[in-house]
Structure 1
Amino acid sequence: MATLQAIKYSRGKLLVLDQLRLPHENHYDEVSTAEEAFDCIRSMRVRGAPAIAIVAALAHAVELHHGGCTATTPEEVISHIESRLDYLKESRPTAVDLSNAIALLKEASKATRIEGLAHPEAKEAILNAYIAKAEKILEEDLHNNTSIGAHGAAWLQQQYNATPDRKISVLTHCNTGSLATSGHGTALGIIRTLHSQNLLQHAYCTETRPYNQGSRLTSYELVFEGIPSTLITDSMAGALFNLHRERMNIGAVIVGADRVVRNGDTANKIGTYALAVLARHHGVKFVVAAPTTSIDLETETGKSIEIEERKREELTQISGAVVNADGTVDTSKTARVAIADQRIGVWNPAFDVTPNELIDAIVTEKGTVVKGADGKFDFSQVLPERWAAVVAKQM
């Protein structure tokens, strides 16, 4: 089945789908510098924690491929790479995938064996190591997404004894599909896998105010792939659970994650916490789909997660393609309109934190993590080396 691509890459060239033009127009921007990547991420032309990390990593790879580093000594080359990566890290501080990717890229650059090489050869070796690692991050993300889909679908099938004759329905929030990753997706990847196994009755997606990633992007992906689906406003979720849970066999809320900390607390798009509360009240499983790159073992609880706040205009204004009198959409014309008194005070956090006690399962590419008898999440099996390192620090 064909899927949408947020990122198109070949060595020396990176194309990024401008998601602000969706669902009416598929336009790719060529991104070839760290500055262009920063703007692409900050303006949310690309979004989704995995995709942000991939675009940042590959944009700098393209920049280096085309001679963007004028340093000559190995020390200067590594310093240049690290400074550019530190700059890119500030584009979206909440998403841990970006900082994890940056740590890996710095390590790969430093670990390059350059002993005995002349400066030009040493520089080339360092640059090649960086570019190879950036490309590996892209490759591994796609593999991880398909694994998350398989593990999540298997866990839900087991929970509900789902069969082609007894399918389940799910609700998802924000966008976590091909447009947020290298392909397939995390939470939406689980939905795709359920659908491919003939176990999905229906998928509901929220509009995800104020930036409408659900209505603009998720609904577009679901329609594109022919998955039975319905769009609802964020405030309709409680009514959906109350009125239709039994009839539609709604089994789970499945969301992605921008950061999962050591105790399982999860930062995700604003509105996720409210869905978790509603799901618990109505007996609906709450599932977080996250690659291990989104897990932050250094941070103990969600109280320490930095929450990005965005522009007030996202709440007070809205823009989009013009709808003609006959109902057709004219993509050549866009309009920005006010939807609130422009003098009103605004609080616009981009994310919220869902406490671990409201989460039933965290699905990674290495398996599904559920709470133990002590009611806590234990990531030691899916991340043994990182877990051991954190434990060692505490001793």
Structure 2
Amino acid sequence: MIETLYWKDNKLYLLDQTILPHEIEYCECKTYQEVITAIKTMKVRGAPAIGVSAAYAMALAEVQGENLEQAGQEIKQARPTAINLFWAVDKVLKSVEQGNTAVDTAIQMEKEDISINKKIGEYGNTVIDDGDTILTHCNAGALACAGYGTALGVIRAANEHDKNINVICDETRPVLQGARLSVFEMQEENIPVRLIVDGAAGHMMQKGEVDKVVIGADRVAKGGVANKIGSLMVALAAKRYNIPFYVAAPISTFDFENNIFDTKIEERNPEEVLVVNGKYIAREETRVENPAFDIVESNLITGIITEEGIKKPL
């Protein structure tokens, strides 16, 4: 399994996910500001991976001799929706107050993330039947975490238990995390996978070709979950055709204090929508709405698979 990130000689190395699957290259981050840039530009993405990267950004701030409180506030501004980012910064600050180093804390958080994901996979395996075809949206795999994955971790666990599973990945416009990343992960592990356009998910369900849906989450709160744009449409189609719809997410993704509809939904660069392969697909002056996430309401969710078991939506 390819490494999403690693720490070496007081530097953080992040797999550049913007050029996968065609190139495998790591970004060397010597400062916490470089990690912020990597998060903003989606060289690293996925809520758990963003959280671990944020912890390592705090470690770099410590190595740089920066004020950790101030650095933490800057890191928290990198992306507004994924709660793991805020959770990780606060966890490092609390650990440092208790006498630990930010570096040691970040290293431990990376190890814990992989362990948590494997537990999620084991609990998720219990809802996967032999022969299931599983549809997933975006990428909630090893590339979205320190390793193993959440939604794709469930699929990995089912495969490791010798269940004869098949996977359908939708492309996940506009930056194609499903096509570029999830398909790549499945192919690397020889798990049977098909790629569809986003608009085909309902059609596949209508034909009876989908048994379960498993996605990740960037935030879980009262009323539902926030996940990559397009998740809501998949959930609505699954509800229409009585297909179980699961969310796989660690407890660190839970926001127990707020309503999901209070979540700030990130608006990204219009160029992501307007430009494909370096060419404009509409006039350059076209007005674009490019929300990065949408909200799947609790009544559309069968269960949330966590490291503590399968929970009801908040």
- TM-score tier by shorter-chain length is over 0.9
Aligned residue for 2:165, secondary structure, equals strand
Question: Which of the residues 158, 163, 173 maps onto 1:209?
Answer: 173
In structure 1, list runs of 5 or more residues that go unmatched: 71-79, 113-127, 320-335, 371-376, 379-395
- What are the within-5 Å matches in structure 2 for residues 164-243 of structure 1? 167-243=131-207
- What are the within-5 Å matches in structure 2 for residues 145-160 of structure 1? 145-154=117-126, 156-157=127-128
1:281 aligns with 2:234: no
Question: Which of the residues 91, 94, 106 maps onto 1:134?
Answer: 106
Other-structure match for 1:303: 261
Cα distance, 1:103 vs. partner? 1.3
Aligned residue for 1:354, secondary structure, equals strand
Runs of 4+ more than 4 Å apart: none
Q: 1: CA distance between counterparts of 2:309 and 2:181?
A: 27
Amino acid at match of 1:151: Y
Other-structure match for 1:291: 250
1:259 aligns with 2:219: yes
Q: Number of residues paired by the alignment?
A: 314
Cα distance, 1:34 vs. partner? 1.2
Residue by residue over 1:349-369, the C-alpha shift from the partner in whole angstroms, topping out at 9 and shown as x without a partner, is 000011000000000011111
Q: 2: CA distance between counterparts of 1:95 and 1:200?
A: 33
1:364 aligns with 2:309: no
**Residues 262, 295 of structure 1: 8 Å contact kept:** no
Other-structure match for 1:327: none
1:102 aligns with 2:108: no
Moved more, 228-237 or 198-207: 198-207
Amino acid at match of 1:352: D
Q: 2: CA distance between counterparts of 1:64 and 1:241?
A: 50
Q: 1: CA distance between counterparts of 2:34 and 2:60?
A: 11
Cα distance, 1:10 vs. partner? 3.3
Residue by residue over 1:197-226, the C-alpha shift from the partner in whole angstroms, topping out at 9 and shown as x without a partner, is 122431000100011111111111111111
Q: 1: CA distance between counterparts of 2:164 and 2:60?
A: 40
Residue by residue over 1:77-99, the C-alpha shift from the partner in whole angstroms, topping out at 9 and shown as x without a partner, is xxx10110110111011000011
Aligned residue for 1:19, secondary structure, equals coil
Question: Which of the residues 197, 211, 228 maps onto 1:269?
Answer: 228
**Residues 11, 62 of structure 1: 8 Å contact kept:** no
1:318 aligns with 2:276: yes
Other-structure match for 1:341: 283
Question: Which of the residues 60, 72, 77 maps onto 1:90?
Answer: 77
Q: 2: CA distance between counterparts of 1:63 and 1:225?
A: 36
In structure 2, list runs of 5 or more residues that go unmatched: none
TM-score (norm 2): 0.97
Residue by residue over 1:117-161, the C-alpha shift from the partner in whole angstroms, topping out at 9 and shown as x without a partner, is xxxxxxxxxxx522221111111100000000000111x14xxxx
Amino acid at match of 2:249: A
Residue by residue over 1:54-96, the C-alpha shift from the partner in whole angstroms, topping out at 9 and shown as x without a partner, is 112113313423xx116xxxxxxxxx10110110111011000
**Residues 13, 29 of structure 2: 8 Å contact kept:** yes
**Residues 207, 215 of structure 1: 8 Å contact kept:** yes
- What are the within-5 Å matches in structure 2 for residues 53-132 of structure 1? 53-65=51-63, 68-69=64-65, 80-112=67-99, 128-132=100-104
**Residues 117, 250 of structure 2: 8 Å contact kept:** yes
Cα distance, 1:11 vs. partner? 5.4
Other-structure match for 1:8: 6
Q: 2: CA distance between counterparts of 1:201 and 1:51?
A: 26
Q: 2: CA distance between counterparts of 1:349 and 1:200?
A: 36
Cα distance, 1:259 vs. partner? 0.2
Residue by residue over 1:167-202, the C-alpha shift from the partner in whole angstroms, topping out at 9 and shown as x without a partner, is 111000001111110111000100111112122431
How many percent of aligned residue pairs carry the same amino acid? Answer: 37
Q: CA RMSD in A?
A: 1.3
Q: 1:15 to 1:176 in 2, by over 3 A?
A: same
Other-structure match for 1:35: 33
**Residues 168, 200 of structure 1: 8 Å contact kept:** yes
**Residues 266, 291 of structure 2: 8 Å contact kept:** yes
Aligned residue for 1:195, secondary structure, equals helix
**Residues 211, 243 of structure 2: 8 Å contact kept:** yes
TM-score (norm 1): 0.77
Residue by residue over 1:98-124, the C-alpha shift from the partner in whole angstroms, topping out at 9 and shown as x without a partner, is 111111111112232xxxxxxxxxxxx
Largest Rg, 1 or 2:
1
**Residues 89, 98 of structure 1: 8 Å contact kept:** yes
Q: 1: CA distance between counterparts of 2:303 and 2:260?
A: 17
Amino acid at match of 1:218: S
Q: 2: CA distance between counterparts of 1:129 and 1:27?
A: 29
